[in-house]
Structure 1
Amino acid sequence: MEFTTKITTLSLLFLSLLILTTTTATCTNAVCRRGDPTVRFPFRLSSHQPESCGYSKGFDLTCGNNGVNRTTITLPFSGNFTVEVIDYAAQAILINDPNKCLPERILMLNLTSTPFSGVDVRPFTFFSCPTSDYPRFGQLTPITCLSDKNSTVFATAWPISVNYLSSQSCRLIKTVEVPVHWPSYEQAGSSWELTDNLWLTWRVPRCRRCERRGGKCGLKSNSSSETICSDAPKPAIPRRDQYAIAIGAGIPGTLILFGLVCLVYNRISAFIKRLHPVPHSENNNPQAHSLQSNIMIMGLDVSTIESYPKIVLGESKRLPENDVTCAICLSEYEPKETLRKIPLCQHCFHADCIDEWLKLNGTCPVCRNSPEQIL
């Protein structure tokens, strides 16, 4: 009986591993047509990839309809949009209207039931003006797909233009918040006009750091919404070894510099003594040689390091002195990361970064004070 139970348990374990391997193997990149963006987690192409390859229904993509083989996303309450670009490292998606009248879609845009929000949002006001008065509005670009022979439609975010059109024989249609790509504000002549696309971003899942490292982001399991980063190339030199090399190279340099300073100091002292001889009794005074320097502070012991408080970073990522990056690894802090704070000087770092640092060098990387001296 016991033998049979063990065999059954091993069989189930083998079967679960086989299913997991099969599921992972089917989550390959997909594309609708040449030139379209590559589709991978958190998105999935519903006709090519199983449901487990995407994060949620909100990230489902299709290859369009009516014979148009374009990558398409359906936004609840807003309809279908073509997907022009997916920037996985920036967690941004560029979408457009397949019918080439994006302003009309913007007037009805509703992102409430989607995982997306605007990369940057700017209020645009739409006006319908008599076509006969168009020469007076020559500085503005008309929206041809919304205009006809009797009225011309404009959309602007420039306050001066909004005030001007409001004072003319124009009818205000609507003011809407439009998701735009903020660098376009720097483009002369188009800073306050609608562009040909919309930039959206998503906050969850957070795969930005994994993508930037060249890894593959995905679900930890089919029954969990937790993500993991796999296949990320390891750095040529591990972080711990990088610290050791940096500190190992810094200590000899410091010793050489200190030796040069001592040599110059001794030469100057000898020259001064020749000019102003000191009585023999003073030369034997121990107080005359009181100048000493502690040139190196050794690392701290593990128990001291572990006594320093830890902080689990919240969604707001608020820290003392508005720190946003770790001064050791120079990576931006992310919510739910564990930080360690050096008492009194209040400087914070990634816990694993500062632990390795303090084992080799007992000074704060920012203010260079010794935590032991501070305490």
Structure 2
Amino acid sequence: MNINKVLTFLFFHFIFNFRITSAQICSNSFCRRTEPIIRFPFRLENLQPNSCGYPGFDLFCDAFNETLIDLPNSGTFTVQSIDYESQNIWLNDPDHCLPRRLLQLNLSTTPFNAYFYQDFTLFNCSAFDYARYRFDPIGCMSEENYTVLASSDETAIRLLESRCSLIAAVAVPAQLGFVEPVMTSDLAGDIRLTWGSPRCGRCEERRGRCGLRSVNGTEIECRNAARRGIPRFARYTIVIGIGLPGFLLGLGFLYLICIRVHNSSRQRHPVMEFSMAVVPHSTTTISGLDGSTIDSYPKTVLGESCRLSKPENNTCSICLSEYMPKETLRSIPECQHCFHAECIDEWLRLNPSCPVCRNSPKSSPS
């Protein structure tokens, strides 16, 4: 009996120490302090055990302590940034010629995907005066005797077809700011990819720690997740829920007063009843945009640097809160004004115009 107690004590003591040791080994890591923080589902090869990451998410450090990832069939890329909450990763070329790498980019054997692709056509132009048309050359692919240009705009492509030779058409993962057709680009910006599995975004939102449930399995679990307060969207909904009924109640009260005044006037002037014509009041219903139109407006997830096309627009005009890293923004294509996605979605469902310039965005037919 005593031996069983001792064995039980040793067993639980071993399990407890093993969990502590595993948590310490799988703590946050990085190649250097200015590089992205590495945690599950990613892991650093030769520095952390396999159980600290998920298959296909291995990273490593080069001789300059830059963070790299090796994509099968596509080669090695530098990791510029990782957003664990929205499950996004930004990549670029360690040799500083991303357009050449895009010609052979193949994500079919990787756990990563693009939100959407934008088709660019590359041209080799030798005698074309590209500066006259304000084209941006791809410097790393150009030489002294010719210049390589890229465009996704049909008008610009027709112009280049008549003066240059075709190199290739390539599908480029969406980059920041690439929403409308682009007349010219050097394609040097970071490419943004996302992953669908493992799904740890919800755990990250709750400030939890995502990881493997067991050392040899692939099932994941969320540990130490904290309860969250009321999110901004819920607060905005509560304001609408309280304010709208109060507004309707006030209208109803005003309507009752008008009825009483009208009836009192009829009692004082009964003869006028027969000479007055009844004119029905026409009511106008103002409704917002439909869900499919709102969902079609572009969304952007801010990185740690909070880069925007207009740096002065750093505050949401609806909730009056400054933009923070990892927040999702949505812009109205007609005027390019940006807002928190949850704020502008609720606004456009009730109001068919931009909160800033009051221009009416294009809406889908009812």
Q: Do the two structures share a fold, i.e. TM-score over 0.5?
A: yes
Aligned length: 255
Whole-angstrom CA distance in 2 between matches of 1:5 and 1:148: 79
TM-score (norm 2): 0.59
Distance 1:218 1:187, change over 3 A: farther
Mapped pair 1:208 → 2:201: yes
Q: Deviations over 1:76-114 (max 9, x none)?
A: 122211111111122111111111111111112111211
In the TM superposition, 1:325-340 aligns within 5 A as none
CA distance in 2, matches of 1:91, 1:156: 29
Superposition deviation, residue 52 in structure 1? 1.2
In the aligned structure 2, how far is the partner of 1:186 from the partner of 1:215? Answer: 37
* Structure 2 residue aligned with 1:60: 58
Counterpart of 2:137? 142
Distance 1:236 1:88, change over 3 A: closer
Partner residue, 2:13: 14
Deviation of the 1:236 alpha carbon: 5.4
Give unmatched runs, 5+ long, in structure 2: 268-290, 293-366
Name the CA distance, whole Å, in 2 between partners of 1:236 and 1:113. 39
1:230-278 per-residue CA deviation (whole Å, 9 max, x = no partner) reads 22222458xxxx9xxx9xxx9xx99xx8xx98xx89xx7xx99xx8xxx
Structure 1 gap segments, 5+ residues each: 276-320, 323-375
Which of 130, 133, 158 is the aligned partner of 2:128?
133
Question: For residue 57 of structure 2, what is the amino acid of its counterpart?
Answer: F
Q: State the AA in 2 paired with 1:151.
A: Y
2:68 paired residue among 67, 72, 82: 72
Matched-pair contact (CA < 8 Å) for 1:127–1:154: yes
Cα offset for 1:186?
6.1
Match among 148, 154, 166 for residue 153 of structure 1:
148
Of 92, 102, 110 in structure 2, the residue corresponding to residue 96 of structure 1 is 92
- Give 1:259-274 correspondences, 5 Å limit: none
Name the counterpart of 1:120: 116
- Structure 2 equivalent of residue 336 of structure 1: none
The TM-score, its normalising length taken from structure 1, stands at 0.58
RMSD across aligned positions (CA): 3.8
Rounded Cα–Cα distance in structure 2 between residues aligned with 1:37 and 1:160: 40
Between Structure 1 and Structure 2, which shows a larger proportion of helix residues? 1
CA–CA distance in structure 2, aligned partners of residues 235 and 149 of structure 1: 58
Aligned: 1:108 with 2:104: yes
Per-residue deviation, 1:115? 0.6
Find the counterpart in structure 2 of residue 40 from structure 1: 39
1:197-225: per-residue Cα shift (whole Å, max 9, x none)? 21111111111122222222222222332
Give 1:19 shift.
1.6
Larger Rg: 1
Aligned partners of 1:92 and 1:119 also within 8 Å:
no
Q: State the 1:178 CA deviation.
A: 0.9
8 Å CA contact 2:138, 2:186 repeated in 1: no
Match of 2:171 in 1: 177
* Residue identity in the other structure for 2:89: I
Q: Residue by residue, what CA displacement relative to the aligned partner does 1:179-198 show, whole Å, maximum 9, x if unpaired?
A: 123544369876x6524221
Counterpart Cα distance in 2 of 1:137 and 1:98: 32
Identity of aligned residues (%): 39
For 1:308, the equivalent position in structure 2 comes to: none
Distance 1:29-1:153 versus aligned 2 partners, 3 A rule: same
AA at the equivalent of 1:41: F
Structure 1 residue aligned with 2:222: 229
Where do 1:263-342 residues align within 5 Å? Answer: none
The answer (yes or no) to whether the contact 2:209–2:222 under 8 Å persists in 1 is: yes
